[in-house]
Amino acid sequence: MGDVKGFLKVKRKKSEYRPVCERLKDCSEVAVLRPDEQSEEQASRCMDCGTPFCSWGCPIGNYIPEWNDFMFRKHWEKAYQLLEATNNLPEITGRLCPALCEYACVLSINDDAVTIRENELALIEHAFKAGWVRPKSPKKRTGKSVAIIGSGPAGLACVDQLNKVGHKIVVFERDDKIGGILRYGIPDFKLEKKIIDRRLDIWKKEGVEFRTGLNIGTDYSAKKLLKEFDAVCLAGGSRAPRDLNIEGRQLKGIYFAMDYLIQANRRTSGIEVSERDLIDAKDKRVVVIGGGDTGADCVGTAHRQGASCVVQIELLPKPSESRPLEQPWPKYPLILKTSTSHEEGGERLWSISTNKFIGENGQVKKLSCVRVEFEKDTRGKPVMKEVKASEFEIEADLVLLALGFLHPEKKGLLEELALELDSRGNVKTGADFMTSAKKVFAAGDMHRGQSLVVNAISEGRAAAHYIDKFLIGQTNLPII
């Protein structure tokens, strides 16, 4: 613990964001990287708790008190060495993670948590600038080969771990670029794509092979791949979207959020989209159905495209602004989250159900909605009830469905391999991450359902541990 009184002297100070009027004019990242001196000062707030609940809250068990202490003492390189021991993509979690660790931080019991996520970002960006993040090819190769299907954070974490111990790694990705939802899903204003490319360059120099534009199970047989590699890891994500099958769903102007976001990402990267396929919010009244992260990303994207107004509606009631009693520290609480996209404008409505879409000449024009409330039934299960005489309409030219994801897509890869699935339709594995097919492993959203980047990294690391053990009979790779 660098400064025993740090937490008494220094107040939590978050990073700054670019002014709304400026950032809405472009798609660049909204967060401003803070100076190292400020991060060192913020790191001094860490109390080096005997039981660091922050590490408990972090799915990859980051050595948070240890690197906070090194940062405070200006030993940035030592801090970085600890960070890279547990996290394959800190430059991504430092930007995107909801920071489960901060909700578990002991300081947050009666004060503001340490800015752990922002310290992580400052640390990895310092390391890149200093040239410490460089290719480190394995000293010798094992002669074993692993195919990774899918290049989101789960696949990439698995790649990095297995490449380090000397296996030959080939990544198969159906998109034209590597990154999964990080590349085509999450907007540039949260994560600029050069951040992914910077890391990929290092892995390519370390000998990882990336093959894009290949949909395994459709363009190339998965069974054939099994014959060509000693092990296969499925990291294809969970992309089957939840639909809203109500009257008017077939009207023009209603899209799944991911179709909209993927196209917006591609346009930001300079890829042109034909007029016929274009989904654009310019001068449109946009309604986003679904109050989660994906919905928030649609709100920010629609504002940047010049929407005339944006409304985000959610079925569930407005969450509380502070930690509810039934979700005590150190649990991750379900509280109201106001993202940078919400700060940029638009309206948010809760406890709203959509009954039908109303159109004119085949184009959506309005949503017919009703207010709802939830009551508990005799078994304590919440039951939704419409509030009497609360019907109303919302005008809309573009409706984006951000209602979550059901499970991985079955067509192609999963159908061909005929793997056992769990009750939610995700790929079932044993505790060793092996699926019902020998030498086929699964990790990330495809295995656990749509989740978070940090959970995908954790799964990718765990799968790598078991794959290495399967290939060699033992492993030095950590489980997380």
Residues lying near ligand SF4 in the complex (CB under 6 A) are found at 46-49, 52-54, 64-65, 68, 105-107, 114, 116
Q: CA-CA distance, 37 to 126, in Å (whole number)?
A: 12
Q: Which of 155, 156, 164, 62 is nearest to 114 (CA)?
A: 62
Nearer to ligand SF4, 106 or 208 (CB): 106
Nearer to ligand SF4, 46 or 417 (CB): 46
* Sign of the alpha-carbon torsion through 170, 80, 55, 190: negative
* Sign of the alpha-carbon torsion through 133, 134, 139, 145: positive
Per CB under 6 A, does 264 bind ligand FAD?
no
Q: How many residues in the shown chain lie near ligand FAD by CB under 6 A? A: 39
The residue within the footprint of ligand FAD, chosen from 118, 120, 297, 468 (CB under 6 A), is: 297
Per CB under 6 A, does 208 bind ligand FAD?
no
Per CB under 6 A, does 149 bind ligand FAD?
yes
The residue within the footprint of ligand FAD, chosen from 54, 186, 200, 299 (CB under 6 A), is: 186
Per CB under 6 A, does 175 bind ligand FAD?
yes
Q: CA-CA distance, 312 to 303, in Å (whole number)?
A: 12
Per CB under 6 A, does 120 bind ligand FAD?
no
Unique residue bearing structure tokens 């600029």 = 192
- How big is the chain, counted in residues? 480
CB of 47 to ligand FAD, least distance (A): 26
Q: CA-CA distance, 450 to 426, in Å (whole number)?
A: 10
String marking each residue 75-114 x if it binds ligand FAD according to CB under 6 A:
---------------------xx-----------------
In three state form, how does the secondary structure of 1-22 look?
CCCCCHHHHCCCCCCCECCHHH
Question: Which alpha helices (H) appear in 213-371, and where do they start and end?
Answer: 222-228, 257-268, 293-305, 340-343
Q: Which of 154, 92, 398, 98 is nearest to 264 (CA)?
A: 398
Q: CA-CA distance, 313 to 304, in Å (whole number)?
A: 19
Per CB under 6 A, does 444 bind ligand FAD?
yes
Per CB under 6 A, does 294 bind ligand FAD?
yes
CB of 38 to ligand SF4, least distance (A): 17
Q: Which stretch binds ligand FAD (CB under 6 A): 7-15, 47-55, 182-190, 464-472?
A: 182-190
String marking each residue 243-262 x if it binds ligand FAD according to CB under 6 A:
------------------x-
Nearer to ligand SF4, 94 or 152 (CB): 94
